[in-house]
Homo-oligomer: A and B are copies of this chain.
Amino acid sequence: MKTIKTLGGITLLLGSMCFLNSCKPKSTENVVSGDAAEKVYVAPGKHDEFYNFVSGGFNGQMGVYGLPSGRLLKVVPIFSVNPENGYGYSEETKPMLETSHGFIPWDDQHHLEISQTNGEVDGRWIFANANNTPRIARIDLNTFKTVEVLELPNSAGNHSSPFITENTEYVVAGTRFSVPTDDVNGDVPINSFKENFKGVISFVKVDPKTGEMNLAFQIEAPGVNFDLSHAGKGKSHGWFFFSCYNSEQANTLLEVNASQNDKDFIMALNWKKAEEYIKAGKGRKVKTSYAHNKWNEETHSGSSKMEQEVTMLSTKDLKDLCYFMPTPKSPHGCDIDPTGEYIVGSGKLAALVPVHSFTKMLKAIENKDFAGEYDGIPILKYESTLHGEVQKPGLGPLHTEFDNEGHAYTSFFVSSEVVKWDVKTLKVLDRQPTYYSVGHLMIPGGDSKKPFGKYLVAYNKITKDRFLPTGPELAQSAQLYDISGDKMKLLLDFPTFGEPHYAQALPASMIEGKQVKFYDISKNKHPYVTKGESESRVVREGNKVHVYMTSIRSHFAPDNIEGIKVGDEVYFHVTNLEQDWDVPHGFAIKGAENAELLIMPGETCTLKWIPKKAGMWPMYCTDFCSALHQEMQGYVRVSPAGSSTPLVYSLNNKADNAQSPVKQGTTK
By a CB distance below 8 angstroms, the chain B residues around A618 are 156-157, 177, 179
- For the complex, is A232 an interface residue (Cβ under 8 Å from B)? no
**CB within 8 Å of B: which of A24-40?**
28-30, 32, 36-38, 40
Q: Are A560 and B252 in contact (CB under 8 A)?
A: yes
How many Å lie between the Cα of A320 and that of B251 in the bound state?
A: 75
Q: Which of B462, B515, B622 contacts A108 (CB 8 A)?
A: B622
Q: Can you list 14 A-B contacts (CB < 8 A)?
A: A44-B479, A58-B588, A74-B471, A74-B475, A83-B105, A84-B497, A89-B106, A99-B591, A156-B590, A177-B590, A187-B614, A187-B637, A253-B652, A254-B555
Are the CB atoms of B532 and A104 closer together than 8 Å? Answer: no
What is the CA–CA distance of A445 and B527 in the complex, to the nearest angstrom?
50
B29–A45 contact, CB under 8 A? yes
* Contacts known (A396-B627, A633-B157); A73 close to B495, Cβ less than 8 A: yes
- Per a CB cutoff under 8 Å, which of B80, B189, B553, B593 touches A101? B593
Q: In the bound complex, do residue A628 and residue B661 qualify as a contact, i.e. CB atoms below 8 Å apart? A: no
Task: Provide the residues of chain B in CB contact with A251, threshold 8 Å.
Answer: 560, 635
List the B side residues contacting A504 at CB < 8 Å. none
State in angstroms the CA–CA spacing of A600 and B259 once bound together.
Answer: 27
Do A515 and B471 contact each other (CB < 8 Å), given the known contacts A84-B59, A435-B44, A622-B108? Answer: yes
12 additional contacts, CB 8 Å, given A75-B497, A132-B589? A8-B661, A29-B46, A44-B490, A45-B466, A48-B468, A58-B623, A74-B470, A81-B83, A84-B498, A106-B595, A144-B471, A472-B517
Query: For the complex, is A194 an interface residue (Cβ under 8 Å from B)?
Result: no
| Contacting residues, chain B, for A638 (C-beta < 8 A) | 187
Minimum CB–CB distance for A51 against chain B, Å: 6
**Pick from B8, B134, B462, B469: contact of A515, CB under 8 Å:** B469
| Interface residue? A378 (CB, 8 A) | no
The number of residues on chain A lying at the interface, defined by a beta carbon within 8 Å of a beta carbon of chain B, is 195
Q: Of residues 565 to 610 in A, which have CB atoms within 8 Å of B's CB atoms? A: 577, 581-582, 584, 586, 588-596, 598, 600-601, 603
The 9 closest A-B pairs by CB, nearest first: A8-B661, A186-B615, A29-B45, A37-B41, A254-B631, A177-B618, A144-B471, A106-B595, A101-B591
Binds B, one of A14-22, A301-309, A361-369, A381-389: A14-22
Does B74 contact A474, Cβ atoms closer than 8 Å? yes
Q: Give complex CA distance A626, B397 in Å.
A: 13
| A487 on the B face (CB < 8 A) | no
A21 to B263, CA, bound (A): 66
Please give, as numbers and ranges, the residues of chain B lying within 8 Å of A190 by CB-CB distance.
Answer: 560, 562, 616, 635, 637
Is B532's CB under 8 angstroms from A7's CB? yes
B residues near A522, Cβ cutoff 8 Å = none
Interface contact B473-A588, CB-CB below 8 Å = no
Partner of A9, one of B349, B472, B659: B659
Query: Does any Cβ of B come within 8 Å of A543's Cβ?
Result: no
A526 at the interface (CB under 8 A from B): no
Q: Nearest B residue to A477 by beta-carbon distance?
A: B44
B residues less than 8 Å from A6 (CB atoms): 552-553, 555, 661
Judge whether A533 is part of the interface by a CB distance below 8 angstroms. Answer: yes
Instruction: Let me know if B80 and A595 touch, CB within 8 A.
Output: yes
CB contacts (< 8 Å) of A245 on chain B: these are 630-631
Q: Quick check: which of A63-71, A269-277, A310-318, A334-342 contacts chain B, the rest being far away?
A: A63-71
A40 touches which one: B41, B131, B191, B652 (CB < 8 A)? B41
Q: How distant is the Cα of A588 from the Cα of B40 in the complex, in angstroms?
A: 37
Please tell me if the beta carbons of B627 and A8 are within 8 angstroms of each other in the complex. no
Stretch in A204-212, A448-456, A639-647 with 4+ CB within 8 Å of B? A639-647
Is there a chain B Cβ closer than 8 Å to A1's Cβ?
A: no
Q: Please give me the residue from chain B that is nearest to A86 by CB atom.
A: B106
B499 lies within 8 A of A624 (CB): yes
A632 within 8 A of partner (CB): yes
Most B C-beta atoms less than 10 A away, residue of A42, A47, A105, A255: A255
